[in-house]
Amino acid sequence: MTFWIAVGSLCAICGILALLLVIADGYLNNYGICKLTINKGSKEAEVEGGSTLLSSLNSAGLFIPSACGGQGSCGLCKVKVHAGAPPVLPTEEPHLSKEERESNVRLSCQLKVHNDMEIEVPEELFSIKEYKGTVESLTDLNHDIKLLRIALPEGEEIDFIPGQYIQIETPAYKKTPEPVYRAYSIASDPRDKTHLDFCIRLVPGGICTTYVFEHMEAGNPIRFNGPYGDFHLTDTDKDMIFIAGGSGMAPFLCMLAHIKNEGITRNVTYFFGARSRRDLICLDKMAAFEKALPNFKFVPCLSEALPEDNWEGETGLVTDVMSRHCPDLSNMEAYLCGSPGMIDASVAALTSKGMPIENIAYDKF
C-alpha cells in the first residue's frame, strides 16, 4: 500500500512539474510585441517577437534581399542593428568582416527579434514591393531548364533594371512545412512591365525547383518580391563580353532586349557554355538578336559534343574559346552569370588576358 502511495505521489509531482514547465515555456518564449525603428524613425513597425529579423521585416512590408531564402548562406540580407541585438552568432561570423561587425552589420535571417530594435537599411529598399501574380505558362527550354512566365495582376506594373532578380515564394507543399524563397534573375523584356520571365534549372532534390518542375501549373497564384541586385550594364562605350551557362542565360536575355530597345551600338560577344546540343537553350532568340543587332555575336560552345549532335561550332572550354576570339581584353568589360565554378574560372581567364578586375561584373549566388 505504501509503495503505491509513493508511486502515486511521484507521478503527481512529475505531472505538476511538467505543467509548470509548459506554463514557464509559454512565458519565457513569449516575447510579445516588439517595436522595430528603421532609419531613425523613417519607418516603424510592431511585430510579434520570436521570428527572424528578416521575416519580421518582410511581414512589416520591408523586403530585404536574400538569394538563399533565409538559410544563412548567401550573406545578402545584411542590415545594421544599432540597438537590441545579441552578440554576433556563429552562423553569421563567416559573412561579416571586422569592419562590418564594428559598424553593427548583422545577417537579418539569423537574428531573432526578442526585444525592440533600432535598424538601418539602404533607403532604396523602401521601394521594393511584394506582388501576387499568376503563373501564365511553364515552357521547357531543354531537358532541365524551364521558362516560367508570370503575369502581374490587372492594372499593376513592375519597373526593374536589366540584370536584377526577384525572390519567388514556394508555398508549403508535401513535407516542406513553410513557404521558402529563392532568387531568380529576370529574363524578360524590360519594356513589358506586366509580365516577368525566369529561366529555372532543376536542382536535384531542391525544394523550390522541384516544386516548379513537378507541382506548379499555369493559372496558379504566385507570390514574389523585388526587384533586387546591382548586376547591370555600365554606361560606357566599351566592347562587352557576356559569359554564361545553363540558366545563367536569364539576365542576358533581358539585357539584350534592353540593348535592342535603347538602340545601343556597343559590340557584344556572348559566349554560352553547354555540355552537348541538348543542353543549349534559346537558340532561336539568339538568332533573332543577331539579326536585329549588327554588333552582337552569339558563340555557343559545347564541352562534350556528341557524334549525333553534328556540331560544327566551337568546342572545348568556354574560357579557351573566349581567349581565342578576344586576345586582348584590356579595354573591354565582361558580364558573367552562372555557377560559382564557372564564375571563378571565367574571372581567372579574363584577368589573365589583361582585363582589369573592376571591368568584370558577375551574378554569383
Partner 1 sequence: MKENPASKTIRDRLEPGALSVEGFLGHDDRPLADIIAADTGEVEAAGLTVEQLGAFLESLHEAADSGWEGRVPLFDGRIRVRVTETLGQTPCPFACGAHSHKAVVEVFDDKEQVLLRFTPLDAHLIRNHGFFEGKGAPYRIAPAELIELYRLCME
| The one among 274, 326, 329, 347 contacting partner 1 by CB under 8 A | 274
Cβ proximity of 224 and 150 under 8 Å: yes
Residue span binding partner 1 (CB under 8 A) among the ranges 44-52, 127-135, 204-212, 231-239: 204-212
Give CA separation, 81 vs 36, 37, 88, 124, 188, in Å. 10, 10, 11, 17, 36
Q: Kindly state the smallest distance separating residue 79's Cβ from partner 1, in Å.
A: 20
Q: Which positions from 306 through 325 interact with partner 1, judged by CB under 8 A?
A: 317-319
Contacts of 204 (CB under 8 A, 6+ apart): none
**222 vs 134: CA distance, rounded Å:** 5
**167 vs 55: CA distance, rounded Å:** 13
**326 versus 343: smaller Cβ distance to partner 1:** 343
Contact flag: residue 171 with partner 1 (CB under 8 A) = no
**322 vs 320: CA distance, rounded Å:** 5
**165 versus 296: smaller Cβ distance to partner 1:** 165
Q: Kindly state the smallest distance separating residue 330's Cβ from partner 1, in Å.
A: 24
**37 vs 297: CA distance, rounded Å:** 51
Q: At 66, list the grid cell.
A: 536574400
Cβ proximity of 283 and 275 under 8 Å: no
**17 vs 224: CA distance, rounded Å:** 46
One character per residue 35-74, x = contact with partner 1 (rule: CB under 8 A): --------------------------------xx--xxxx
Cβ proximity of 120 and 79 under 8 Å: yes
| The one among 39, 51, 91, 295 contacting partner 1 by CB under 8 A | 91
| The one among 176, 194, 267, 323 contacting partner 1 by CB under 8 A | 176
**119 vs 96: CA distance, rounded Å:** 17
Residue span binding partner 1 (CB under 8 A) among the ranges 28-36, 146-154, 171-179, 285-293: 171-179
**169 versus 290: smaller Cβ distance to partner 1:** 169
**234 vs 258: CA distance, rounded Å:** 13
Contact flag: residue 203 with partner 1 (CB under 8 A) = yes
DSSP 8-class letter at 152: P
Q: Which positions from 341 through 360 interact with partner 1, judged by CB under 8 A?
A: 341-342, 344-345
* Count of residues engaged in binding partner 1, rule: CB under 8 A: 44
Cβ proximity of 80 and 99 under 8 Å: no
**126 versus 365: smaller Cβ distance to partner 1:** 365
Contact flag: residue 361 with partner 1 (CB under 8 A) = no
Which residues contact partner 1 by CB under 8 A?
A: 67-68, 71-74, 90-91, 93-94, 174-177, 182, 201-207, 209-210, 245-248, 273-275, 303-304, 317-319, 338-342, 344-345, 365
